[in-house]
Structure 1
Amino acid sequence: MATSAPIDDVPAGGGIIRLGQFLQLAGLVDSGGEAKEAIRSGDVTVNGDVDLRRGRQLQVGDVVEFAGRRARVSH
């Protein structure tokens, strides 16, 4: 499902970051508990696919979407 939401580039320190951490860093959620619940409920996509792994390692260029907002991992 394509979305027209703008993509915010969020620097992740140049390395790999986990999905749950990135949701917080990007301001898509307020807490680790909120990230865990959002991921568990299937409301988070990575590069357009639902991912249920809070510990999924993201890399530069990956796009995460939650609640109509999108953020891309950048350097």
Structure 2
Amino acid sequence: MSEMIKIDDEMINLGQFLKHANIISSGGMAKPFLLDYKIWVNDEREDRRGRKLYPGDTVKIEEFGTYTITTSADGE
């Protein structure tokens, strides 16, 4: 089961997502985090903090779990 992460815009980049999901505490931690942990976006390995994520995308992070991007309109 994946955790739903709601965003207010049409997209969010991976670095912003990590902070928004409370996985890292600041944007400056994104680059080192991506070096230390394996991340998959829609089952493709990803290491770019600028990768754009859209509603419906699935993010899997080793040792953290699976997350699905949604918008406020999706669940309301």
What TM-score do you get using the length of structure 1 for normalisation?
A: 0.76
Unaligned residue ranges in structure 2 (runs of 5+): 72-76
What TM-score do you get using the length of structure 2 for normalisation?
A: 0.76
Task: Report the equivalent of 2:74.
Answer: none
RMSD over aligned CA atoms reads 1.7
Larger Rg: 2
Structure with the bigger percentage of helix = 2
Out of 15, 20, 24, which is 2:10 matched to? 15
**1:1-75 equivalences in 2 (<5 Å):** 6-41=1-36, 43-66=38-61, 67-75=63-71
Q: Distance in 2 between matches of 1:45 and 1:30?
A: 20
- After the TM superposition, which parts of structure 1 deviate over 4 Å for at least 4 consecutive aligned residues? none
